[in-house]
Amino acid sequence: MIITRRRTVAGLAAGATISSLPLAARAGTMEEAKKRGAFRIGVTQAPPWFSKDPRTGEWTSGLGISMGKAMADKLGVKMETVEVSWGTAIAALQADKIDIMFMLDATDERKQAVDFPQSPLLYYSLAVLARDDLPAATWAELDKPAVRIAVPQASSMDRFVSEFAPKADLQRFPDNAASIAAFQSGRVDAVCLFHPPLLAARQRLGKGKIVVPAPAKSQASSAAVRKGDPQFVAWVDGQFADYYKNGQTQKWYEAALADFGLDPKLAPPVMKEMIK
C-alpha cells in the first residue's frame, strides 16, 4: 500500500512536471498536432457553439465544430474533440489535454493563464427576448414604464439597461435562469442578456423574438490557446481573420442555428458589420 501510494504520488509529480514545461522546451502546437495526427478542440454542450448528437454521442454540430474541422484540415490532420466545461477549459489547455478552446472571451484574468489571438472569433450582442407583439427595435421603444424587463442583478445588462432604458420597469433577478423564468411565466415582457443564452431559451420556450435593440452593444469573443507558442497564436489569428472576412464564420453560425432548430433570420448575426 505504501509502495503504491509512493508510486502514485511520483507519477502525479512527473505528470505535473511534464505538463508544466513551457512550450519553448517542447515542440510547438502545430508540430505536435501533425505528429499526433489530431487537432484537439475542447467541447461542451452549448448550442450553437457545440452540440452532441444524443443518439450517437458524437459532436456533430456547432460553429466550434465546423471551425475546428476546417482548422484541422488546414493542418492535414483529423479533429479530435475533448469534453471539458467552461470552468475547466483553461486547466485542460495548461495540462496539454486540448489545443484550443473556442468561445472564451479574452479577459485580463484569462490572459495571465493562456494566450489569445488578436483577431476576434466573432461578436455577440446584448439582446432581448421579447414578446412577439412588443416593439423592441430600439432602446427608446423599450424605455417606457409599462415595459417590464428582466435582468440579472448587478450584471453588465443591469447597468446598460439602467442607462439606456431608465423609464422601463427594470426587474432584477439572481441569475440568467431566474430572469428567463420570469419571461416564461409572463411576469416580464422581455429579458435582456447577451444573445447566446437567449438562443437556447427561445428554442426551449417556443415563443418570443430575439432582438438587438439600437444602439447595439456588442463585444468580441475569442479562443484560448496555451501560453508560449507565438507561431500557433499567429496561425490561429490568421485563420480567424480569414474566416471572418470572407463571411465563413457567419455561415457556420447560421448552419449551427438551423441544426439547433432555429431560424437564422430570427437571431442576431455574429459579424459586427451586420448588426443594425
The dihedral through the CA atoms of 32, 36, 37, 39 has a sign that is negative
Whether the upstream peptide bond of residue 215 has omega within 30° of 0, thus cis, is yes
Torsions phi, psi for 116 (to 5 deg): -135, 145
For residues 152 and 162, what is the distance between their CA atoms, to the nearest angstrom? 12
CATH class of 124-218: alpha beta
pLDDT classification of 271: cutoffs 50, 70, 90: very high
Q: Look up the CATH number of domain 28-117+225-262.
A: 3.40.190.10
Q: What is the model's pLDDT at position 27?
A: 73
> Under 8 Å CB-to-CB from 269, ≥6 apart: which residues?
250, 253, 275
For residues 269 and 122, what is the distance between their CA atoms, to the nearest angstrom? 9
Q: pLDDT for 85-128, tens place per residue?
A: 988 999 999 999 999 999 998 989 999 999 999 999 999 889 99
Amino acid of residue 76: G
Q: pLDDT for 117-166, tens place per residue?
A: 999 999 988 999 999 999 999 999 999 999 999 999 988 789 899 999 99
Residues in the chain: 276
What's the whole-number average pLDDT of the chain? 88
For residues 272 and 164, what is the distance between their CA atoms, to the nearest angstrom? 20
Q: pLDDT for 76-93, tens place per residue?
A: 999 999 999 988 999 999
Q: pLDDT for 171-206, tens place per residue?
A: 999 988 899 999 999 999 999 998 888 988 998 899
For residues 21 and 135, what is the distance between their CA atoms, to the nearest angstrom? 56
Question: Is there a contact between 75 and 33 (Cβ–Cβ < 8 Å)?
Answer: yes
Q: Among residues 60, 43, 44, which one has the least CA distance to residue 260?
A: 60
Alpha helices in 20-153 (DSSP H): 29-36, 63-75, 89-94, 108-111, 139-142
Instruction: Give span(s): CATH 3.40.190.10, the chain.
Output: 28-117+225-262, 124-218
